[in-house]
Structure 1
Amino acid sequence: MASFSMTQIRTGNYTSGFSLNYPNKVYARPSRIGFKVFASESESSSEPDLSVTVNGLRMPNPFVIGSGPPGTNYTVMKRAFDEGWGAVIAKTVSLDAAKVINVTPRYARLRANGNGSTKGEIIGWQNIELISDRPLETMLKEFKQLKDEYPDRILIASIMEEYNKAAWEELIDRVEQTGVDAIEINFSCPHGMPERKMGAAVGQDCALLEEVCGWINAKATVPVWAKMTPNITDISQPARVALSSGSEGIAAINTIMSVMGINLDTLRPEPCVEGYSTPGGYSAKAVHPIALGKVMSIAKMMKAEFDSENYSLSAIGGVETGGDAAEFILLGANTVQVCTGVMMHGYGLVKKLSVELKDFMKKHNFKSIEDFRGASLEYFTTHTDLVKRQQEAIKQRKAIKKGLQSDKDWTGDGFVKESESMVSN
């Protein structure tokens, strides 16, 4: 497929005349997608097909390694491809890794048994980890090596920069030269360098987000996903801004700002670094219902205002089973990202996820992901509408059970049904 020139790409931006009062308009994205579509692996016709095509990129399944430790270097990303993950999103990079200084310990876990428990199921995970602390040149070299070795697999670069147009343009240019298939923009990291207008500091400010998205989408020649922060009142607003400013996809959610807990023996917060801590990002199973709510909100907005054929939604949050993934897809997600789940269960988790998702599809006779993507979205409505629906249902049930009011209502033609309407068993 022929690629578009930069002139064509620039005409796809929607930055002019922006305001937060959007009309019910369906946006059609002039395509920057479809550059790299590969044949799917052959499967038995009796087996459900897990392959997906997202923004023109073909993946063997919808399971994507989320940006973070599981995509931190060549060795682990190669392992992810070898295990069968549909795509890999590398750990976020910026131009100057020297700014990034991590501490350890930097994780804390929440178990079902409560504060201080060392037993029981892990339901929550917090991190105070920053973006990649490895030199950009090293990461770029490894991106290129991965694409050389796995040309038919999808590698996505996650990038984040300061509020500086030239820096964003330089980073995009250097990352694209490695051959990555797409770019995910980290507008959502809840901790680390917010004073430089990085991460969630951009994702929480729609005006700033629109400006930065404009820079990015004028420069990028591969599909762009904007990763959203849940630490905002209405997540659909920045998602709308990102899409209307030229991004092809939305990824949501990043971690939730949190304090994991206080050690009741030492009275110090966790994770504890030299006796001190800082709020961090919360993930794992406990955030799954929150992520479902945020993804539903974005999906409803996208369905109402954007051409879903050209835009995509990548869902993130507490995925450890095929059922967790199915829920996100039922809400309209094209792909499902896993990060903390890999840290807890290993890269082989993708096999379990695939088997369980196929079992769900067999149960409902779904042959492909598209057969059920978004199928549950229509069943979300307002509380006012729920009241109306329930009142109408009660009214109908009463009408069925009421039977005849008096002897004068009997008819010859409907005599049997009229009799049955007054039977109690």
Structure 2
Amino acid sequence: MADLTTNLAGIQSPNPFWLASAPPTNSGYQVQRAFEAGWGGAVWKTLGDPILNVSSRFAAVGFNGQRVAGFNNIELITDRPLEVNLKEIYETKKKFPNHAIIASLMVEPQQEKWHEIVKKVEDVGVDGLELNFGCPHGMAERGMGAASGQVPDLVEKQTYWAKEVAQTPVIVKLTPNITDITVTAEAAVRGGADAVSMINTINSLAGVDIHSWNTIPHVAGKGAHGGYCGPAVKPIALNMVAECARSPFINVPISGMGGVSNWQEAVEFMLMGATGVQVCTAAMHHGFRIVEDMIQGLNYYLDERGIEKVSDIVGKAVSKYSDWGNLDLNYKVVARIDPDTCINCNKCHISCEDTSHQCIDMLKDPSGKSYLKVREEDCVGCNLCSIVCPVDGAISMVELPNEQPPMTWNERQAALQATAAQRLDV
């Protein structure tokens, strides 16, 4: 089997699967159960000054029969005393010395506050620290979490304060509630971060009960925005990981999270630059033992390809990710429908006719049997028909040969500008 061990900025782990800082890592009992199930590491639920949580904290957004396509929460950081958490961290690390335990931290943006909590937490033997600059609800209203994470100067300053006294690697957890996550990632690097993690949850309102008119969830008839996570946020998270991974100014390891539910999605994050992944919603939905399938699947994937170490796949797809202006305008694909597989449900025709480029015709053969055919000269290769088709393999996207050389938008604009300059010279 392949070597699944990872090294994130000096934090060793038996595999790349960590539990994220969240309800599943609220206590020593839970983290120990997770390690027994096979998780390689855990980021302890965020520690800080004592808080009070409300009752009725979670909500899920279902879609097309899936009960938890997205997950919303209005829970804050730990409401357990710091001393109790520290005692349990010490006991858990002593029992599982080869598993990674990272303490998530959140305090007011004051130097002495960061110095105090970093020293206390490191005294119990954690492997690393994760500075929580991401939570968008509750704590942000007190100037912490995303309120700090949206201000690059505060990210840099607080990272620097933590690094002044830290003896273990410092990971900075970034908020996605910002226009460009690379700006705050760069600020974290300037502050001395050893790694960054992303994404934290996204500002959200899960829903409104159309009968009672209460928000979902609600607390005695009142609601508030919460943090959104789960499968629905994965494309957003993957993009942000990729943007940071391809930035020359963010030269630190990345811990990726946001909708990771299985080993395939973990591989996607690692191919896009994450050293490992953190998981929350999937564990809350299905329990800790999902990691067994994740480990088994990842092992099979690597062995099948003759890859000896999981670290060998990190970042392998980053070079394939670029800006729109660098895409080849002369590349051409078209849709082709397999008549032997097609069930004539007409979903492709309806989607194309109503919302795309009207290039799928409904025809009849000599016997009067209906069939669908793509007019390839009008097809723009948008992929919509293959996406809505309910039958795998019935519609294929086929690359057409092109005699024209590759030409990107940026190259085209440069050529036009060069031509215009030549005309001016003449």
In the alignment, is residue 90 of structure 1 matched against residue 44 of structure 2? yes
Deviations 1:32-84 (A, max 9, x none): xxxxxxxxxxxxxxx12211122222211000010011110110011111111
Query: SS at the partner of 2:59?
Result: strand
Q: 2:227 matched to which residue of 1? A: 281
Higher normalized contact order (CA 8 Å, seq sep 6+, divided by chain length): 1
Deviations 1:1-29 (A, max 9, x none): xxxxxxxxxxxxxxxxxxxxxxxxxxxxx
Q: 1:318 matched to which residue of 2? A: 259
Paired residue for 1:333, among 239, 260, 274?
Answer: 274
Structure 2, unaligned stretches of length 5 or more?
Answer: 333-398, 406-426
Deviation at 1:194, TM superposition (A): 2.2
Q: Would you say the 8 A contact 1:288–1:319 is kept in 2?
A: yes
Deviation at 1:395, TM superposition (A): 11
Paired residue for 1:111, among 41, 58, 62?
Answer: 62
In the alignment, is residue 65 of structure 1 matched against residue 19 of structure 2? yes
Note closer, same or farther for the CA distance 1:306–1:271 as it changes in structure 2 (3 Å cut): closer
Q: How does 1:3-402 map to 2 (within 5 A)?
A: 47-94=1-48, 96-97=49-50, 100-113=51-64, 120-301=66-247, 304-307=248-251, 311-388=252-329, 390=331, 397-398=402-403
Q: 2:383 matched to which residue of 1? A: none
Query: SS at the partner of 1:370?
Result: helix
Query: SS at the partner of 2:403?
Result: helix
**More divergent stretch after superposition (286-295 vs 377-386):** 377-386
Structure 1, unaligned stretches of length 5 or more?
Answer: 1-46, 114-118, 401-425
Q: Would you say the 8 A contact 2:74–2:224 is kept in 1?
A: yes
Q: Hey, what's the Cα distance between the residues in 2 that align with 1:335 and 1:399? A: 41
Q: Would you say the 8 A contact 1:156–1:184 is kept in 2?
A: yes
Q: Hey, what's the Cα distance between the residues in 1 that align with 2:283 and 2:321? A: 31
Deviation at 1:136, TM superposition (A): 0.5
Deviation at 1:219, TM superposition (A): 1.3
Note closer, same or farther for the CA distance 1:283–1:327 as it changes in structure 2 (3 Å cut): same
Note closer, same or farther for the CA distance 1:123–1:399 as it changes in structure 2 (3 Å cut): closer
Q: How many residues align?
A: 339
Q: Would you say the 8 A contact 1:163–1:196 is kept in 2?
A: no
Q: What letter is aligned with 2:55?
A: T
Q: Would you say the 8 A contact 1:230–1:256 is kept in 2?
A: yes
Deviations 1:350-390 (A, max 9, x none): 11111122232234332211221111111112222214563
Note closer, same or farther for the CA distance 1:227–1:171 as it changes in structure 2 (3 Å cut): same
Query: SS at the partner of 1:131?
Result: coil
TM-score w.r.t. length of structure 1: 0.77
Q: Hey, what's the Cα distance between the residues in 2 that align with 1:140 and 1:293? A: 35
Q: Hey, what's the Cα distance between the residues in 2 that align with 1:110 and 1:72? A: 24
Q: Hey, what's the Cα distance between the residues in 2 that align with 1:359 and 1:77? A: 26
Q: What letter is aligned with 2:31?
A: M
Query: SS at the partner of 1:305?
Result: coil
Q: What letter is aligned with 2:58?
A: Y
Q: What letter is aligned with 1:109?
A: A
**More divergent stretch after superposition (264-273 vs 247-256):** 264-273
Q: Hey, what's the Cα distance between the residues in 1 that align with 2:7 and 2:120? A: 26
Q: Would you say the 8 A contact 1:299–1:332 is kept in 2?
A: yes
TM-score w.r.t. length of structure 2: 0.77
